[in-house]
């Protein structure tokens, strides 16, 4: 070999080594890069919430402030003082903008108290006992002539006014104006009487307005005096709490007949209920008590079917009695207020989000309609505003993986339900049912695919004629090339209805096919004495088996309907439901087992077949020469030696099934339930991502949760593959090396 | 072709013809193998000596498209009879292969493999057979302390002796050896040859070898095959010293092969 040629070889070696190294590193790098990219999107879910002091100003010459508020752009703030004047000001520098007298003001009436609900609706209580409801509205305006500069327009709208009742004003009053012309005023008198005044405006069939007015005294009997009251924003539900820890609930929806729904001893230790309010959506009742604890309650149906207020979530605890509770106008967050300051919690996730104004000694506060800022009034007259950064209050590890007691549910559940038709709906983002769905679908697919693939591989590699093997192997590998969308399509539109129609036959064939095989094997013992038939034993067994199996299936198909008729009252699905308590979904695990199994079989088969064929024939010969039968040889020598490869094939199949999307998307029904039943569908992580990502607002909780589920999917396949590789190495060290 | 008087033949081959598909590998072989003797089959590559050896335990059945005509009698019974139990046959006729092929199991499990597949489950019997077989294969002293270690950790010569131990553990009548030393170094070869000498006291041994010195050293009788025909069969010393046939002489003197 001449020198130049030798050099060339060495150079090529070097280049090849570099190319391979760079390629390998690039693959590792891009996999890590993808993981980092996905993880980065999901990470903000777990960032702690943040509040930043936005401004701290003072309005000169304004005293006796009864309410504060601010627009959601954090530009215009307002205060309402005892004279009934609303003054708007610039949040940043406190510069006064304009002011106006509220509709109820006038004469020598002064404003005693303001209660705020919903979107900056202020219930104003005047010194003469009358109530008015005014709403402050903000609207951004873009000035087209002035470079589209944004300015915030504001106005005050009078919604309703309630005169003093004949019996005089109560010590506590409530008023709400509902969306459909319903106005309710509640007066609580010091002798524990409650007066309800209702005005309902309805349209009769001629299209004329009819006004119904009603007044009721609510009778009730409690151990302690009523200390807290709250009315739902549509005025149909009234709640009261007492000094002895009792809770009462009335239904006011029938204006003729308000009914006391229940009275419960909420706290066994009879602690005083100091404040009540309704969480956004008006279903959950937030209760603040004298111990400083904030709890939320909602009616749950008990065993006898009666709705009963039940303590659901325990939120933060103040060290002083709770003085006020207000809901976030945007989500299920609850702001509670005591002399200690403000605490913001998310009800469902029970996450303690923020603690504000601990040192500022706040007297009043209010949240913007978008829930992005809080303005408070300190006792020395400063107007403090905080900008809140709580992007994902409803997400915590508990809500992602644990059981959560959602509003309106009878018990804590794992639930995935990301969207609904109403605004006050809370998304249910538990990943547990999805992980469960992935594992369930994979389990059933593997249950079908692995035995079929491995036995197929054993037969093909050890028993079939080489010529046959040369046919079977590529044919099975072609199966892997079928687009999964076609498999899913066939499974959903052809297989699912077929199996639904012939469920009885399917189960019958599970019995008949093995039975027929047993019988035919027994029969074969006689038939094999005939020479031409005996030749089948050497690699053409399937020719004898196929007709038996087909015949057994045909018989099952024929007998199935009769079986259902005789033993299952004509409908197996109905029987399953009534007798076994199992619902039959048309798209269920049977379908998935067939469809996804079909997709997994080629992978497991090919790898298993390769490793079985690669067992040195010398081992097979050694075993046979010692008098082992073909089956003994396979079982005792070939299978252990090929086990690393078979295991690897199974695991790669597993990884494939976990990540499979199109088939499960089309053939599972995508119901996020946690039920092991083979007759139910599921919603796996992969299909969930495919279904929901187009509808998920970018950077929203759903969006990030979907990315998190992608990380989980990634990690799952990573773990499966790593475990597979480790086990494979172990097996290889034990059985390999020939 | 000489006719040798054989007493107590264990295997009698009568007009054995063997076909791989259409091509004929053996053209009517007639041979008798005496009991508890070592018989060597020699001949150039492709002469059919391995094929002939594999006919004695029907390992050739595994070859696709092969066909046998004629008879092989083991203790007077034709092993190619339709009613022959191949498994029983292979328990009587053990085999050691050219390349040592221990199973990827422990030394212990390798030795008792033949017993296990026969449905034997007696631990005491296993222990006893492992010891006697390994002693019989002159391996006992080397491995007695590591019987539960993988057989794949042994040296090449040890592996081959393990294969012999595995073959004798089931107590066969006949042991077929297909070039058992061709993959071994001279020292290991000497051990195995020595072992063959010891084994002839209990077993009938038929050995295929390329190495004529080996045939001369270990065998009592030698058969020379050429192109699927038996050319000469005789007592080893005579065949090597005074071959009757020209082809035999050419072969043993190294003129071809």
What would you report as the CA-atom Rg of chain B, rounded to the nearest whole angstrom? Answer: 18
Question: What band does B22 get if pLDDT is binned at 50, 70 and 90?
Answer: confident
At A562 the pLDDT is 82
> How many CB atoms lie under 10 A from the CB of residue A332?
25
**What is the biggest distance separating any 2 CA atoms in chain B, rounded to whole angstroms?**
56
| B126: in domain | no
Name the pLDDT band for B1 (thresholds 50, 70, 90): very low
Nearest CA in chain B to A634: B117
pLDDT tens-place string over residues A102-117: 887 777 888 888 998 8
Say which residue, A569 or A130, is predicted with more confidence: A130
Give the percent of chain A with pLDDT over 70: 98
pLDDT band, very low/low/confident/very high, at A674 (cuts 50, 70, 90): confident
Dihedral sign for Cα A403, A406, A409, A411, please: positive
Residue A438's contacts (CB-CB under 8 Å, 6 or more residues apart) are: A658, A682, A684, A685, A686, A713, A716
Q: Which residues in chain B have Cβ-Cβ distances shorter than 8 Å to A640?
A: 104-105
Handedness of CA A431, A437, A443, A446 (dihedral sign): negative
Burial of A308 (0-12, 13-18, 19+ CB in 10 A): middle
Q: Please, are residues A366 and A67 in contact by the beta-carbon 8 Å criterion?
A: yes
- Classify residue B53: in a domain, yes or no: yes
Mean pLDDT confidence for A244-255: 88
Q: Give residue A706's Cα distance to chain centre.
A: 10
**Model pTM?**
0.83
On whether any CB of chain B is under 8 Å from the CB of A627, the answer is yes
pLDDT confidence of residue A424: 67
Q: Which of A625, A629, A637 sits opposite B59 (nearest CB)?
A: A625
Cβ A111 vs Cβ A105: under 8 Å: yes
Q: Where are the alpha helices (DSSP H) in B118-205?
A: 123-136, 140-143, 156-168, 186-199
pLDDT value at position A431? 92
Phi, psi of A210 (to 5 degrees): -120, 130
- H or E element in which residue A721 lies: helix A701-735
Chosen for mutation from A462, A470, A627 (greatest number of chain B CBs closer than 10 Å) is A627
Residue A304 predicted with pLDDT over 70: yes
Interchain proximity A636–B117, CB inside 8 Å? yes
The answer to whether the CB atoms of B150 and A637 lie below 8 A apart is no
Look at B97 and A628 and tell me if their CB atoms are within 8 Å.
no
Distance CA A432, CA A683 (A): 11
Q: From the CA of B34, how many Å to the nearest CA of chain A? A: 22
CB A427 within 8 A of CB A393: no
For the stretch A457-486, what's the b/e string if a residue is b when 16 or more beta carbons lie within 10 angstroms of its beta carbon? bbbbbbbbeeeebeebbeebeebbeeebee
Residue B57, domain CATH: 3.40.50.300
CB contact under 8 A, B117 and A618: no
Give pLDDT, residue A738.
Answer: 44
Taking CA–CA distances from B85, the nearest residue in chain A reads: A627
- C-beta atoms of B90 and A621 within 8 A: no
What's the confidence (pLDDT) of residue A447?
A: 93
Q: Are A159 and A182 in contact (CB under 8 A)?
A: no
Interface check A149 vs B, CB under 8 A: no
Q: Find out whether A297 and A311 touch, Cβ atoms under 8 Å.
A: yes
Q: Are the beta carbons of B150 and A734 separated by less than 8 Å?
A: yes
Who wins on pLDDT, B46 or A604? A604
- Cβ distance A124 to A102 under 8 Å? yes
Q: Do A627 and B170 touch (CB under 8 A)?
A: yes
Q: How many angstroms separate the CA of residue B40 from the nearest CA in chain A?
A: 20
Predicted pLDDT of residue A191? 85
Cβ of A625 and B95 within 8 Å?
Answer: yes
Size of interface A-B (CB pairs under 8 A): 74
Residue-wise pLDDT tens digits, A217-240:
888 888 888 889 999 988 888 999
Distances (CA, A) of A453 to A443, A491, A595, A717: 15, 20, 14, 21
Residue B24 has pLDDT above 90, yes or no: no
Instruction: Give which of B57, B103, B174 to mutate to test A binding, by max A Cβ within 10 Å.
Output: B103
Q: Look at residue B92 and tell me if it is in a domain.
A: yes
Bridge partners of residue B95, in order along the sequence: B176
Q: Does a structural domain hold residue B68?
A: yes
Phi/psi at A706 (nearest 5 deg)? Answer: -65, -40
- Chain B residues in contact with A619 by the CB 8 A cut-off are 101, 103-104
d(CA A105, CA A92): 28
Average pLDDT over residues A258-274: 89
Distance CA B33, CA B48 (A): 17
B175: pLDDT strictly greater than 60: yes
Chain B residues with CB under 8 Å of a chain A CB are 57, 59, 62, 64, 87-91, 94-95, 97, 99, 101-105, 113-114, 116-118, 150, 152, 163, 166-167, 170
- Give contacts of B101 with chain A, Cβ < 8 Å: 616, 618-619, 621-622, 738
Q: In angstroms, rounded to a whole number, what is the distance separating the alpha carbons of residues A270 and B145?
A: 79
Amino acid B3: pLDDT: 56
CA dist., res. B157 & res. A61, Å (int)? 108
A635 at interface of B, judged by CB pairs closer than 8 A? no
Strand B174-178 relative to strand B204-208: parallel, antiparallel, unpaired? parallel
CA neighbor of A385 nearest in space, from A406, A366, A363: A366
In 3D, which of B57, B236, B211, B77 has the Cα closest to residue A624?
Answer: B57
Contact B101 A466 (CB under 8 A): no
**Interface probe with A: pick from B53, B84, B104, B168, most Cβ of A within 10 Å:** B104
A626 and B57: CB-CB below 8 Å?
no
Averaged pLDDT, A446-474: 90
Closest CA to B164 of B144, B135, B142: B135
pLDDT band at residue A331 under the 50/70/90 scheme: confident
Q: What does the mean pLDDT of chain A come to?
A: 87
Query: Residue A149 in 3-state DSSP?
Result: strand
So what's the pLDDT on residue B156? Answer: 87
Burial code (b: 16+ CB inside 10 Å, e: under 16) for A660-694 equals bbbbbbbbbbbbbbbbebebbbbbbbbbbbbebee
Question: Residue A35 — pLDDT band, cuts 50, 70, 90?
Answer: very high
CB–CB of B101 and A616 under 8 A?
yes
Number of domains in chain B: 1
| DSSP state letter for B232 | E
Beta-ladder partners of A79: A68, A87
Count of residues for chain A? Answer: 738
- CA nearest to A626 within chain B: B114
Which of A465, A467, A468, A622 best probes binding to B when mutated, by most B CB atoms within 10 angstroms?
A622
Best probe of the A interface among B86, B96, B113, B116, by most A CBs < 10 A, is B113
Three-point CA angle A359, A362, A365, nearest 5°:
135
- To the nearest whole percent, how much of chain A has pLDDT over 90? 29
Quick check: B219 and B40 in contact, CB under 8 A?
yes
Chain B positions touching A632 (Cβ under 8 A) are 117
- What span, in angstroms and rounded, lies between the C-alpha atoms of B240 and B221? 10
Say if the Cβ atoms of A640 and B91 lie within 8 Å: no
Measured between CA atoms, how close is B8 to chain A, in angstroms?
25
Of B64, B90, B152, which has the smallest distance from its Cβ to A627's Cβ? B90
Look at residue A1 in the predicted model and tell me its pLDDT: 66
- Which residues of chain A are within 8 Å of residue B118 when distances are taken between CB atoms? 627
pLDDT for the residue numbered B182: 85
CA atoms of A198 and A154, how far apart (whole Å): 30
Longest CA–CA span in chain A (Å) reads 120
User: Is A627 within 8 Å of B116 when comparing Cβ atoms?
Assistant: no
pLDDT tens-digit profile of A635-663? 999 998 898 889 889 998 998 899 889 99
Mean per-residue pLDDT of chain B: 88
Alpha-carbon distance B34 to B55, whole Å? 17
Rounded to 10 deg, the angle between the B123-136 and B107-117 helix axes is 120
List Cβ neighbours of A403 (8 Å cut-off, separation of 6 or more).
Answer: A412, A413, A414, A430
Q: What is the pLDDT of residues A174-208, one digit of tens each?
A: 888 887 778 899 999 888 888 898 888 877 777 77
Using a CB-CB cut-off of 8 Å, the residues of chain B touching A534 are none
**In-domain check, residue B208:** yes
What's the mean pLDDT in A411-424?
81
3-state class (DSSP) for residue B99? coil
Which range has the top average pLDDT, A23-37, A166-180, A374-388, B203-217? A23-37
Residues of B in contact with A465 (CB under 8 A): 64
- Dist CA A140 CA A58 (whole Å): 24
Do A340 and A374 contact (CB within 8 A), yes or no? no
Count Cβ atoms within 10 A of the Cβ of residue A561 and give its class: 0-12 exposed, 13-18 middle, 19 or more buried. Answer: middle
pLDDT digits (tens, 9 = 90+) for A522-581: 888 877 777 667 666 666 777 778 888 899 989 888 888 888 878 777 777 777 777 777
Q: Across the interface, which of A627, A641, A736 has its CB nearest the CB of B118?
A: A627
B195: helix, coil or strand?
helix
Query: What are the phi and psi torsion angles at B199 (to 5°)?
Result: -70, -25
Higher-pLDDT residue of A682 and A62 is A682
Q: A629–B87: do the CB atoms touch at under 8 Å? A: yes
Strand partners, A135: A121, A157
How far lies A130's CA from each of A12, A228, A666, in Å? 96, 20, 62
Residue A724 near residue A477, CB atoms below 8 Å: no
Q: Indicate whether B118 belongs to any domain.
A: no
In chain B, residues with a C-beta closer than 8 Å to the C-beta of A738 are 101, 104, 152
According to the model, what pLDDT value does residue A736 have?
59
| DSSP, res A404 | B
Range of B23's domain?
A: 9-100+178-252
Q: Looking at the partner chain, which of B105, B152, B167 has a beta carbon nearest the beta carbon of A737?
A: B152
Interface check A468 vs B, CB under 8 A? no
Q: Is B170 contained in some domain?
A: no
What is the arithmetic mean of pLDDT over B55-78?
86
> Is B129 a domain residue?
no
Q: What is the pLDDT of residues A251-263, one digit of tens each?
A: 988 888 888 888 8
Q: Which residues of B touch A737 (CB under 8 A)?
A: 104, 152
Give the pLDDT mean for B50-60.
Answer: 90
């Amino acid at each position: 070999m001449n020198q130049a040629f030798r050099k060339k070889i060495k150079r090529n070696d070097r280049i090849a080594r570099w190319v391979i190294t760079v390629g390998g590193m690039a693959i590792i790098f891009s996999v890590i890069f993808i993981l980092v990219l996905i993880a980065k999107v999901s990470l903000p879910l777990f960032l702690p919430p943040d509040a930043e002091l936005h401004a701290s100003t003072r309005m000169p010459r304004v005293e006796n402030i009864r309410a504060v508020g601010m627009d959601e752009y954090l530009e215009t703030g307002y205060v309402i003082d005892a004279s009934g004047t609303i003054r708007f000001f610039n949040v940043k520098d406190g510069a006064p903008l304009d002011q106006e007298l509220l509709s109820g003001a006038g004469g020598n009436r002064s404003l005693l108290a303001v209660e705020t609900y919903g979107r900056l609706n202020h219930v104003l209580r005047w010194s003469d006992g009358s109530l008015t409801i005014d709403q402050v509205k903000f609207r951004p305006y873009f000035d087209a002539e002035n470079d589209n500069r944004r300015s915030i327009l504001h106005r005050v709208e009078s919604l309703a006014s309630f005169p003093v009742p004949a019996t005089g004003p109560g010590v506590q009053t409530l008023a709400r104006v509902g969306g459909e012309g319903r106005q309710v005023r509640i007066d609580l008198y010091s002798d524990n009487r409650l007066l309800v005044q209702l005005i309902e405006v309805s349209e009769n069939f001629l299209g004329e307005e009819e006004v119904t007015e009603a007044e009721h005294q609510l009778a009730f009997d409690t151990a302690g005096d009523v200390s807290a009251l709250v009315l739902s924003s549509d005025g149909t539900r009234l709640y009261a709490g007492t000094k002895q820890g009792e809770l009462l609930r009335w239904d006011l929806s029938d204006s003729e007949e308000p009914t006391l729904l229940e009275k419960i001893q909420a706290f066994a230790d009879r602690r005083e209920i100091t404040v009540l309010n309704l969480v956004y959506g008006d279903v959950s009742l937030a209760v603040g008590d004298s111990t400083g604890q904030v709890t939320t309650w909602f009616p749950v149906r008990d065993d006898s079917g009666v709705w009963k207020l039940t303590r659901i979530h325990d939120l933060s605890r103040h060290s002083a009695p709770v003085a006020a509770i207000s809901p976030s106008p945007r989500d299920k967050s609850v702001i509670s207020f005591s002399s200690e300051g403000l605490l913001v919690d998310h009800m469902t996730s029970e996450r303690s989000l923020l603690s504000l104004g601990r040192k500022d000694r706040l007297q009043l506060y209010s949240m913007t309609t978008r829930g992005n800022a809080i303005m408070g009034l300190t006792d020395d007259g400063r107007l403090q505003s905080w900008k809140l950064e709580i992007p994902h209050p409803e997400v915590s590890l508990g809500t992602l993986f644990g059981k959560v007691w959602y509003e309106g549910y009878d018990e804590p559940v794992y639930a995935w339900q990301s969207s609904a038709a109403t605004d006050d709906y809370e998304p249910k983002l538990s990943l547990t049912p999805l992980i469960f769905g992935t594992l369930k679908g994979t389990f059933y697919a593997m249950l079908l695919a692995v035995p079929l693939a491995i036995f197929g591989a054993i037969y093909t590699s050890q028993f079939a004629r080489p010529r046959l093997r040369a046919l079977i192997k590529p044919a099975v590998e072609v199966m892997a090339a079928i687009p999964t969308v076609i498999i899913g399509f066939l499974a959903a539109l052809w297989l699912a209805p077929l199996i639904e129609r012939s469920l009885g036959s399917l189960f019958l064939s599970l019995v008949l096919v093995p039975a027929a095989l047993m019988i035919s094997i027994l029969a074969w013992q006689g038939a094999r004495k005939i020479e031409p038939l005996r030749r089948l034993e050497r690699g053409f067994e399937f020719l004898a088996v196929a007709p038996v199996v087909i015949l057994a299936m045909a018989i099952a198909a024929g007998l199935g309907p009769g079986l259902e008729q005789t033993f299952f009252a004509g409908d197996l699905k109905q029987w399953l439901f009534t007798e076994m308590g199992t619902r039959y979904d048309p798209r269920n695990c049977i379908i998935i087992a067939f469809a996804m199994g079909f997709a997994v079989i080629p992978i497991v088969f090919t790898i298993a077949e390769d490793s079985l064929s690669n067992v040195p024939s010398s081992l097979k010969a050694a075993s046979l020469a010692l008098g082992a039968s073909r089956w003994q040889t396979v079982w005792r020598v070939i299978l252990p030696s090929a086990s690393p490869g078979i295991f690897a094939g199974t695991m790669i199949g597993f990884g494939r099934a976990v990540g499979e999307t199109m088939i499960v998307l089309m053939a599972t029904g995508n119901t996020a339930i946690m039920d092991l039943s083979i007759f139910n569908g599921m919603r796996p992580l992969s299909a969930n991502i495919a279904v929901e990502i187009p509808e998920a607002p970018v950077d929203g909780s759903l969006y990030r949760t979907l990315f998190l589920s992608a990380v989980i999917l990634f990690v799952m396949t990573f773990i499966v593959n790593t475990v597979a590789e480790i086990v494979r190495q172990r097996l290889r060290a034990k059985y390999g090396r020939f | 072709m000489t006719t040798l008087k054989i007493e107590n033949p264990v295997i009698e081959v009568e007009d054995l013809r063997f076909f791989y598909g259409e091509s004929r590998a053996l053209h009517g072989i007639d041979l008798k193998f005496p009991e508890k003797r070592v018989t060597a089959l020699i001949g150039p590559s492709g002469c059919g000596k391995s094929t002939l050896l594999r006919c004695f335990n029907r390992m050739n059945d595994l070859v696709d498209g092969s066909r046998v005509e004629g008879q092989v009698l083991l203790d007077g019974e034709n092993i190619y009879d339709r009613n022959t139990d191949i498994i029983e046959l292979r328990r009587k006729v053990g085999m050691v292969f050219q390349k040592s092929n221990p199973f990827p199991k422990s030394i212990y499990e390798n030795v008792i493999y033949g017993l296990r597949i026969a449905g034997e489950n007696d631990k005491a019997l296993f222990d006893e057979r492992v010891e006697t077989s390994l002693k019989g294969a002159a391996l006992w002293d080397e491995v007695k302390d590591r019987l539960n270690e993988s057989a794949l950790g042994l040296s090449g010569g040890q592996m081959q002796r393990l294969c012999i131990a595995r073959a004798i553990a089931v107590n066969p009548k006949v042991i077929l050896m297909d070039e058992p030393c061709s993959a071994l170094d001279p020292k290991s070869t000497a051990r195995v040859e020595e072992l063959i000498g010891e084994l002839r006291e209990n077993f009938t041994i038929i050995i295929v070898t390329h190495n004529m010195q080996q045939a001369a050293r270990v065998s009592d009788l030698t058969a020379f095959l050429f192109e699927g025909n038996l050319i000469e069969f005789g007592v080893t010393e005579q065949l090597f010293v005074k071959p009757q046939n020209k082809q035999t002489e050419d072969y043993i003197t190294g003129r071809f092969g």
